[in-house]
A and B are shown apart, each in its own frame.
With several copies, the nearest count.
Chain A
Amino acid sequence: MRARLLLLPAVVPVVVVLGATLALGGAQSLGLMPVVGEPALNLRAYRAVVASGDLWPAITVSVTVAGAATALALAVGLATALAVRASRVGGRILGALAASTIPIPHVVGAAAIGLLLADTGWLPRLLGLDEGAWPALVAGPWWGAVVLEYAWKESAFVALVVLASLAADTGELMDTAAVLGAGRWARARHILLPLALPGLVTAGAISFIYAVGSFEVPWLLGRSSPEPLSVLAYRLFTSTDLTVRPQALAVAVVTVALSAAIGLAALGLLRRRPVLA
């Protein structure tokens, strides 16, 4: 009973904000809380965003950019984690390096990437390349700078999560596998990778969700069209035309639904592969 009471101060704010966010956001997107006019349950806002031709491209861009960045972050993060496990001295330096990217805010990272990779950036200048020879990473058609920024920042996170999630006895399991005849690559494939998988799935899902939801990076480094979901929602929400606000919330609901779907998929993956506590 007492433990239940202790729960209250913790439960109340979470439930209120989460519930309010989803319920009222959903309600407004469904026309139940119009800025002007009578409330009526309808999908008008959703239809309007679809009709504007912005929604599908936005979903495509968001998913593609987040997916590419997450894939890159997982690959680099996993390699980092494995390298840290494998070597002691190098490991510490690397761990410190990975951790040191955490205090750099995305907006600063994005700015730096922009300065580094833009057509007129430091890197092409350093390499002495002409404008044509350098790929259009910043504001280019392939969202290269956006993907790189997320991948750079999240790969450190992936490495740290994978390292933390690898059980304390991983080294012993690797020794056991070696003694049973598994060479370096077989050990990595059959022991280390499966053991790292829960960490990879968790970090990957969080990374993907973050990349879908965040908007300063695409705004700074991406193109103005097509807009990713977060930028689209932000533009509609801050529009002076108050009648598009339900559309902003409709986009937000789609973003949250997409993130929740990825989160549930990750949970499903984690359930399917039981991990020793």
Chain B
Amino acid sequence: MTSSVDLVAASRTYTGAPAPAVSRLSLHVAAGDAVAVLGPSGSGKTTVLRLIAGLDVPDEGDIRIADTTVLGVPPERRGIAMVSQSPRLFPHMSVLDNVAFGPQMSGVPKRQARQAAERYLDLVHLPGMGRRRPATLSGGQQQRVALARALAAEPAVLLLDEPFSALDPSLRADMHRLVTELRALLQPTIVLVTHDHQEAALLADSVAILIDGQLQQHVAAAALYDRPNSLTVSRFLGCLNEVPGHARAGRHVSALGTIDTAYPDGQADGDAVLVIRQEAIALTRADDPAANATGCIERTTPRGARTLVEIATTAGLLFAEVQPGRRYGHGDVVGLVLPADQCVVIPTASRTVTAGQVPASPVPSGR
């Protein structure tokens, strides 16, 4: 019942748009796998789903479901289902008939379709809600019904388009638990579109990072933050520390000194930027022999229970996020520990970035 999904060098440019929404995108999703397409708004994520769903057609390239091209196949015969950011429940039907819609369309008699719908309502923890009108449910409940409706259609591929981004953090956590539960139970192929790194890493097996319509990197979810392959990706994932310099024999040399990196084999040698996440830098005493560098506290900002600390070093400002209870004051001198396996080196040639971390003016969020 689950199928693989492939985009093969698919491009799509909207009339009047200056740049393609999606550009020569190739992506493989194995049957039963969950892939997250992660990117900022306006990066073409939703277009990817619309192309798979058949609501939009690529200008070039191919879309394949279960290794067969589906170009020319209308949405209703692609064996898919989709959940969007807004629940999009049919307002004139009861909750039960909403969920029974998919089975009914595939020819299941009304009574059986409704019985199936009851089961899926149970699955999303809304038993007995079937007789209510969608408008009488809360936003989180409506989104669960949308999920039940999509699952009830028994799709070979389930498309999720930022399905939880309109929900409260606590409702979102509930929905994440629910999806994990349903994945274990039903094992559909899932393509999830999101701008939330955490959601991507949490729900998917692998993450495809899409920026400006181009696939930047496709990595296992568990390794999402480990090895960004460009500054674009690193910045998009929220990494704040970049130290220009050059790599030699697996070490990075810069104004900060010589630092052991995650590439001891020297594969990244040459002009290169050292990138290390603020979560990975540990602060210690200035005279700690384990410290790779020393610096002077410039500023602190609360980050949840933790604190983001800005440290002035010989290589400019570096950022570290420290655990609760550590208090630093302006001017304190500290040592910085940069674990070698967290020190990523990105060759300068790949510096194709213009904006990103710079406080740029917001981009219109076209889809």
Contacts and interface: CB of A to CB of B under 8 A. Distances in A.
- Asked whether the complex places CB atoms of A and B closer than 8 A, the reply is yes
Contacts, number: 73
A273 B92 contact: yes
B181 to A, nearest CB: 22
Interface stretch (A93-101, A189-197, A199-207): A189-197
A191 B97 CA distance: 12
A195 B93 CA distance: 10
Contacts of B90: 173, 176-177, 190-191
A172 B106 CA distance: 20
Nearest to B154: A181
Most buried by A among B54, B91, B106, B153: B91
B80 interface: yes
Given A172-B84, A175-B55, A176-B82, A181 B91 contact: no
B101 A182 contact: yes
Given A175-B75, A190-B101, A275 B91 contact: yes
Nearest to A276: B91
A276 B134 contact: yes
Interface residues of A, number: 24
Contact of B76 (A181, A195, A275): A181
Label chain A's interface by main secondary structure: helix
Interface string A8-36: 00000000000000000000000000000
Contacts of A178: 54-55, 74-76
Interface string A163-178: 0000101001101111
A181 B133 contact: no
B92 A180 contact: no
A176 B84 contact: yes
Counting chain B CB atoms within 10 Å of each CB, which of A167, A197, A276 scores highest? A276
B149 interface: yes
B101 A179 contact: no
B273 interface: no
Interface residues of B, number: 29
A186 interface: yes
B190 to A, nearest CB: 15
A181 B92 contact: no
Contacts of A141: none
A274 interface: yes
A20 to B, nearest CB: 37
Contact of B88 (A172, A195, A197): A172
Contacts of B91: 167, 195, 274-276
Nearest to A183: B76
B53 interface: yes
Interface string B88-117: 101111000000011001100000000000
B5 to A, nearest CB: 14
Interface in A203-257: none
Interface centre among B75, B134, B135 (most CB of A within 10 A): B75
Given A190-B90, A274-B91, 17 more contacts: A169-B86, A172-B86, A172-B88, A176-B84, A177-B101, A178-B54, A178-B75, A178-B76, A179-B53, A179-B75, A180-B149, A182-B76, A182-B101, A183-B76, A273-B92, A275-B92, A276-B91
Interface of A: 167, 169, 172-173, 175-183, 186, 190-191, 194-195, 197, 273-277
Interface of B: 53-55, 74-78, 80-82, 84, 86, 88, 90-93, 101-102, 105-106, 133-135, 149-150, 153, 159
